[in-house]
Amino acid sequence: MKVLLANKFLFNNGGAEAVLLQERAFLMSSGADVIDFAMRHDRNIESPYAAHFVSLQEYRSGGYLAKVKSALSLIHSREAVSKLASLIEATRPDLMHCHNIYHQLTPSIVGVAKSRGIPVVLTLHDSKPVCPVHTRMREDRLCSSCLAGDFHHVLTHRCADGSIAQSATLYMEAVIQRWFGNYEKVDRFLAPSQFMRESVLPRFAADRVQLLYNGVDVTSISASDRDKGYVLYCGRLAPGKGAETLLRAHEAANCRWPLVIAGSGPLADDLKSRFTRNVRFAGQLSGETLKATIAEASVVVVPSEWCENCPMSVLEAMAYGKAVIATRIGGIPELVDDRVTGLLFEPGNADELRNHVDCLMSDAARRARMGAAGRARVETEFSLEKHNADLMAVYRSLVSERHASQ
């Protein structure tokens, strides 16, 4: 089978890319021919198809006309259409699987594949097809106004950080994509959470949206019985991620439990300057250092305040056998079985979070039981092996349908 994988980045730039690279490695190991389509970038891994990649695209500054031209190119990329058409002509794939294609590649590439009879799969890493700002959040609350395809609300409420210009650009993008029917041409949407699946059902038929949780490679991660007595946050230091809520909970607890903050982002300097007692800002971790930091933690906290989909941080913590304290939002409650594999709390509620952390940090046996239950759940429900098997079933079904119709 020849599978064309489309994603704006061909390096590990976040959750979407982590899933993409996992699936790419699986396909290659199983004997499939993998055809890459991405944006040129100096961090990309090597690919024999790099000559077909589109130019590096960034949000441009400049005068009014330059900004308009930039906005239009992020909605419909003539270069991506041309380059993909050339790549398809050269490789003749059986199927195209899109991941994070918005803006730099644009959904315009879906029509290119469909016009050549190639089935298209799109993994819903966020709510972009039904929410112009992709988060489903407005004024820190879950919003459902645009889910059925009426996008004027993004203008009415200036959902793009209060900016009418940015909101207008996102509104125009959503309307143009709907007019071209690019998302309507997708054969199968893969939703990594039931929350995401339900988010898009007002617009797309149920038989086109399949639940497929992200998977974690439990064969490469051993459950850890190491417990060095600290609470761990591992993620971006950015709005919506909830790191400040955790730090406030830490202060409210009189900083009595050690806290490790692993990650970087735009809020890093501000948080470091305001929270200093019994907290270590470890910066961005990777490789063996990251593995050891998770393996030796007592509890992992995922305090997200926006609608996470199927966060790998939760699955990986469970794979290491760690109790997880996380917010009751988005797809997180589908992963964390409250009071069994961890504890859930309301987003932004520092007092509830403090109580949960106090509870588990004072009871090593309970957090160990929760960690063991989490590991067992990952092995049976969220393993990478299960994810890959279900993914291949989708591929084979679509390719068979294509052959049957020819």
Nearest 5°: phi and psi at 61? -100, -175
- Residue 403 confidence (pLDDT): 81
Query: Are residues 330 and 374 both part of a single domain?
Result: yes
Query: Are residues 347 and 311 both part of a single domain?
Result: yes
CA distances from 232 to 12, 206, 295 (A): 22, 38, 10
Closest CA to 123 of 216, 23, 45: 23
Query: Are residues 83 and 118 both part of a single domain?
Result: yes
Residue 285 predicted with pLDDT over 50: yes
Distance CA 267, CA 377 (A): 34
Its domain, for residue 28, covers 2-215+384-405
Query: Are residues 189 and 237 both part of a single domain?
Result: no
Residue 326 predicted with pLDDT over 60: yes
Query: Are residues 202 and 125 both part of a single domain?
Result: yes
Residue 77 predicted with pLDDT over 60: yes
Sort strands 141-142 and 137-138 into parallel, antiparallel or unpaired: antiparallel
Domain contains 223: no
Q: How confident is the model at residue 162 (pLDDT cuts 50, 70, 90)?
A: confident
Average pLDDT over residues 103-111: 93
Rama region for 255: left / alpha / beta (φ>0; ψ in -120 to 50; rest): left
Residue with tokens 């909970």: 249
Query: Are residues 200 and 337 both part of a single domain?
Result: no
Query: Are residues 56 and 142 both part of a single domain?
Result: yes
Distance CA 305, CA 296 (A): 26
Residue 248 predicted with pLDDT over 90: yes
Query: Are residues 316 and 284 both part of a single domain?
Result: yes
CATH number of the structural domain spanning residue 313: 3.40.50.2000
pLDDT in tens, 36-51: 999 999 999 999 999 9
Domain contains 224: no
- Residue 302 confidence (pLDDT): 98
Domain contains 291: yes
Query: Are residues 195 and 286 both part of a single domain?
Result: no
Distance CA 390, CA 29 (A): 16
Q: How confident is the model at residue 62 (pLDDT cuts 50, 70, 90)?
A: very low
Domain count along the chain = 2
Domain contains 220: no
Domain contains 35: yes
Query: Are residues 74 and 167 both part of a single domain?
Result: yes
Domain contains 225: no
Sort strands 342-345 and 323-327 into parallel, antiparallel or unpaired: parallel
Structure tokens of 262? 């692993």
Contact 20, 99 (CB under 8 A): yes
pLDDT in tens, 346-357: 999 999 999 999
Could you write out the three-class secondary structure of 254-288?
CCCCCEEEECCCCCHHHHHHHCCCCEEEEECCCHH
Query: Are residues 204 and 328 both part of a single domain?
Result: no
- Residue 61 confidence (pLDDT): 47
**Cα dihedral sign for 320, 323, 326, 329?**
positive
Domain contains 222: no
Residue 65 predicted with pLDDT over 50: no
- Residue 64 confidence (pLDDT): 39
Residue with tokens 């940090």: 361
pLDDT in tens, 260-280: 999 999 999 999 999 999 999
The rounded mean pLDDT for the chain is 94
Query: Are residues 175 and 277 both part of a single domain?
Result: no
Bridge partner list, 34: 3
Percent of the chain with pLDDT over 90: 87
Choice among 30-44, 158-172, 388-402 with the minimum mean pLDDT: 158-172
- Residue 402 confidence (pLDDT): 83
- Residue 132 confidence (pLDDT): 93
Sort strands 120-123 and 137-138 into parallel, antiparallel or unpaired: unpaired
Domain contains 396: yes
